[in-house]
């Protein structure tokens, strides 16, 4: 232990007449701890929100979708074989996609209808239950056993006021024979099950039927709207989609999950950056308290500093004493703040006592996720702010004239 560090620690122990300086030191430590704790919790929530939202989106949407310009895909078995030959592709599944109107006995609601094959559907994540989708082909009612099945999002079913085994009417539009206009089609479906993904935006608009039923409904025999592609590395989606287009060529086009949700994730990244800056201001306020405590300590220890200089201590050594003291305060506050932040994050993650309106924030609970890089940035930011707060008072202490300090101190 150097003597500069030893003296810096001794100066933390205030005498009775220096109790006010000691109080400011405690408040400075508490301020840094509060700022670090708030920063850890806010960044963990923002990171968890982004991660959870990404997982839920990828649990519902495909990694890549392939479609044709202005027309359905006819020869899709051959196209599936071409796509599966691309390196990095895990599986490919056909789908039909359309907007429809659903009507129950008392309510009406719009929905996004997806025609899928439960045995082949691409299932990237855990948001969609495969057991629920398999109910589409199950005949469970003699009275309505001939009706095709439909799976509804939980919020959509609540909006229509229906439950499993209820009958609903699906209204869709298909091209007329001359293809110059649209003809409405109404067909009955039996609700086979309800699905809840945790994202209100999907739960209030999502409906699934069998691919064969969708082809009959939209008169698309042996045709599909597009192909859903699942890949091994989700972050390679732009590169793999480019390779797929080279295999298929025009008039096919591809969109990956990054393109489809670019604005959403850009907004989340911006919010995380802004919240980091705002929460850092709390640490900055505490740093001013550290500077104030050090300035008063320099004024109080003028005679001590002068004696040290007279004994041979250099200006650099005097500066180190007060820098060490400020960093000790900052480090203590940072460690306390990290511990409190970890505990609060664990409580939020375990008990989930904060509920969110799903129609506003996409998610129903407050997600929390701590990442090492975020913690490292928070610690470095806190210590750097505390270090800069010590420079002015430490510099003033190092400039003291030992003769004047001993005479007038």
State the average pLDDT over residues 83-101: 88
Tell which phi-psi region holds residue 362, choosing left (phi > 0), alpha (psi between -120 and 50) or beta.
left
- pLDDT of 243 above 60: yes
pLDDT score recorded for residue 11: 66
Q: What is the mean pLDDT of residues 12-34?
A: 73
pLDDT at 142 over 60: no
- The pLDDT, as a whole number, for residue 172 is 85
Cis preceding linkage at 251, omega within 30: yes
Using 50, 70 and 90 to split pLDDT, how confident is the model at 359? Answer: low
Tell me: pLDDT of 380 over 90. yes
Overall average pLDDT of the 187-206 stretch: 84
Q: Is the pLDDT of residue 90 over 50?
A: yes
8 Å CB contact between 236 and 258: no
pLDDT of 13 reads: 65
Least confident window among 153-167, 188-202, 326-340, 372-386 = 188-202
Helices (H), 249-371: 257-260, 262-300, 302-310, 315-351, 358-361
How confident is the model over 257-285, as pLDDT tens digits? Answer: 888 888 888 888 888 888 888 888 888 88
Confidence band of 126 (pLDDT split at 50, 70, 90): very low
Span of 100-114, 245-259, 357-371 with lowest mean pLDDT: 357-371
Mean pLDDT of all residues belonging to the chain? 81
pLDDT-based confidence at residue 121 (cuts at 50, 70, 90) = low
Q: Do 389 and 288 contact (CB within 8 A), yes or no? A: yes
Most confident among 121-130, 136-145, 169-178, 372-381 (mean pLDDT): 372-381
* CA separation for the pair 128, 55 (Å, rounded): 11
| Domain ranges for the chain | 3-57+264-408, 71-250
For residue 81, the model assigns a pLDDT of 86
Mean pLDDT of 27-56: 87
Query: 124 pLDDT exceeds 50?
Result: no
Percent of the chain's residues with pLDDT above 90: 11
**Cα(353)–Cα(347) distance, integer angstroms:** 9
Stretch 199-207: mean pLDDT: 83
Going by pLDDT thresholds of 50, 70 and 90, the confidence category of residue 37 is very high
52-85 pLDDT, tens digit per residue, is 878 777 777 788 888 888 788 887 888 888 888 8
CA atoms within 13 A on the CB side of 120: 15
User: 159 with 207: CB under 8 angstroms?
Assistant: no
343: confidence class by pLDDT, cuts 50, 70, 90 = very high
Q: Could you tell me which residues come within 8 angstroms of residue 345 by beta carbon, excluding any fewer than 6 positions away?
A: 40, 41, 44, 368, 370
Q: What is the mean pLDDT of the segment spanning 384-400?
A: 87
Does 29 have pLDDT greater than 70?
yes
pLDDT at residue 283, as a whole number:
87
Judged by DSSP in three states, 382 sits in helix
The pLDDT value given to residue 334 = 92
């Amino acid at each position: 232990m150097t003597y500069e560090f030893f003296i810096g620690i001794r100066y933390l122990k205030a005498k009775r007449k220096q109790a006010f300086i000691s109080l400011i030191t405690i408040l400075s430590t508490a301020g840094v701890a509060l700022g670090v704790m708030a920063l850890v919790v806010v960044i963990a929530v923002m990171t968890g929100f982004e991660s959870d939202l990404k997982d839920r989106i990828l649990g519902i949407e495909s990694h890549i979708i392939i479609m044709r310009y202005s027309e359905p895909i006819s020869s899709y078995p051959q196209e599936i074989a071409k796509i599966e030959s691309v390196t990095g592709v895990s599986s490919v599944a056909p789908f039909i996609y359309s907007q429809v109107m659903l009507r129950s006995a008392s309510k009406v609601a719009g929905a996004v209808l997806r025609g899928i094959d439960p045995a082949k559907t691409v299932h990237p994540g855990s948001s969609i239950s495969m057991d629920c989708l398999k109910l589409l082909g199950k005949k469970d009612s003699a009275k309505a056993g001939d009706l095709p099945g439909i799976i509804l999002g939980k919020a959509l079913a609540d909006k229509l006021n229906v439950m499993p085994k209820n009958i609903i009417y699906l209204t869709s539009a298909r091209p007329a024979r001359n293809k110059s206009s649209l003809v409405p089609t109404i067909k009955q479906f039996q609700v086979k099950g309800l699905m809840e993904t945790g994202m209100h935006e999907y739960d209030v608009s999502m409906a699934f039927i069998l691919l064969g039923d969708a082809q009959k409904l939209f008169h698309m025999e042996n045709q599909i709207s597009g192909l859903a592609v699942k890949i091994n590395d989700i972050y390679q989606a732009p590169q793999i989609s480019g390779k797929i287009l080279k295999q298929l060529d025009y008039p096919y086009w591809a969109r990956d999950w990054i393109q489809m949700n670019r604005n959403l994730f850009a907004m989340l990244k911006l919010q995380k950056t802004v919240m980091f800056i705002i929460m850092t201001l709390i640490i900055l306020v505490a740093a001013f308290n550290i500077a104030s405590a050090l300035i008063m300590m320099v004024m109080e220890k003028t005679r001590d500093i002068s004696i040290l200089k007279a004994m041979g201590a250099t200006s650099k050594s005097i500066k180190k004493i007060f820098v060490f003291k400020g960093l000790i305060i900052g480090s203590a506050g940072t460690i306390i703040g990290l511990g409190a932040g970890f505990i609060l994050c664990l409580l939020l993650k375990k008990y989930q006592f904060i509920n969110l309106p799903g129609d506003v924030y996409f998610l129903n609970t407050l997600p929390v996720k701590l990442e090492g890089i975020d913690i490292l940035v928070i610690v470095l930011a806190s210590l750097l702010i505390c270090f800069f707060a010590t420079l002015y008072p430490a510099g003033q202490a190092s400039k003291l004239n030992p003769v004047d300090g001993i005479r007038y101190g």
